[in-house]
Amino acid sequence: MILVSDRGQAIEAELFRENGVLTSVTINHSVALRDETGKILVKPFSDAEGLAVSKKGEIYLSFEGQHRVATLNLRTGVTVPVAPLAQARLLADNRGLEALAMSPDGTVMALPEQFPTPTFPLFAYRNSEWTVAAEIPKQGPFLPVGADFDADGLFYLLERALTPLGFRSRVRRFDFSGASPQETTLLQSLPSRFDNLEGISVWQDASGKTRLTLISDDNFLPIQKTQIVEFSIRD
């Protein structure tokens, strides 16, 4: 797996399983994120949030603080921004392009954690241009933090809500094939059931079953935990 830290680090790691159950993780490579000249990124430029990988192995990152999407060379850590998003001026501080996903046809999709409209715009980057591919309905206190597509083109959105009793997590699945998005809620947790889940990867295991792998951000706080949580989709 490939991970990114909001303090400017990219990590490549290997997952180990026994009978399909995750047992351990080994970090194989870690590198500081850098700008086009090779200079190590510092705040506010280093706050990477979203990550998406194409079928060809191209890696894209989304940043907030200085809102942008960039390509990543995992070996060197060098990031190169793509064309700027015109709506970036509407993104709030620390509430920018939190979720990033790669559609099956190679389109980069970005979703803001907050936006001053009744819906969340799903931005699409293709052929060096940004467009709005869909509008995601806002439901309750949950805000987008991670996203991915499955092999059939269904869009999975990981959302988070912070309560006085701890974090809540929700996963919604969207079908964009019709005139308007069709959504299904797959998971909605109670407070403190999981930690601060922010990353999601959708994949198929050897039996063809769709699996969700989620990872939390512990915010470098001793009272929080870095968790990897996995689910299987039944339908």
Predicted confidence at residue 165, as pLDDT, reads 95
Residue-wise pLDDT for 19-35, tens only, equals 889 999 999 999 999 99
Grade residue 182 by pLDDT with cuts at 50, 70 and 90.
very high
* Element of type H or E holding 101: strand 97-102
Predicted confidence at residue 171, as pLDDT, reads 98
Mean pLDDT, range 183-205, rounded to an integer: 96
Predicted confidence at residue 93, as pLDDT, reads 83
**Phi, psi angles (nearest 5°) of residue 90:** -90, -5
Tell me the pLDDT of the chain averaged across its residues.
95
Grade residue 92 by pLDDT with cuts at 50, 70 and 90.
confident
| Res. 234: pLDDT tops 90 | no
| Res. 114: pLDDT tops 80 | yes
Q: What percent of the chain shows pLDDT beyond 90?
A: 89
Predicted confidence at residue 186, as pLDDT, reads 97
Grade residue 51 by pLDDT with cuts at 50, 70 and 90.
very high
Residue-wise pLDDT for 137-181, tens only, equals 999 999 999 999 999 999 999 999 999 999 999 999 999 988 888
pTM: predicted TM-score of the whole model, two decimal places? 0.95
Residue-wise pLDDT for 94-111, tens only, equals 889 999 999 999 999 999
Mean pLDDT, range 4-19, rounded to an integer: 95
CB under 8 Å to 123, separation ≥6 — which residues? 85, 87, 97, 109, 110, 111, 112, 130, 131, 132, 133
Grade residue 229 by pLDDT with cuts at 50, 70 and 90.
very high
Predicted confidence at residue 47, as pLDDT, reads 94
Predicted confidence at residue 219, as pLDDT, reads 85
Instruction: Pick the closest to residue 96 from 145, 51, 43 (CA basis).
Output: 145
CATH topology of domain 2-232: Neuraminidase (2.120.10)
Predicted confidence at residue 127, as pLDDT, reads 92
Which residue did the predictor score with more confidence, 235 or 170? Answer: 170
Domains of the chain by residue range: 2-232
Instruction: Pick the closest to residue 109 from 97, 124, 131 (CA basis).
Output: 124
Buried/exposed code over 189-201 (b: 16+ C-beta within 10 A; e: otherwise): beeeebbbbbbbb
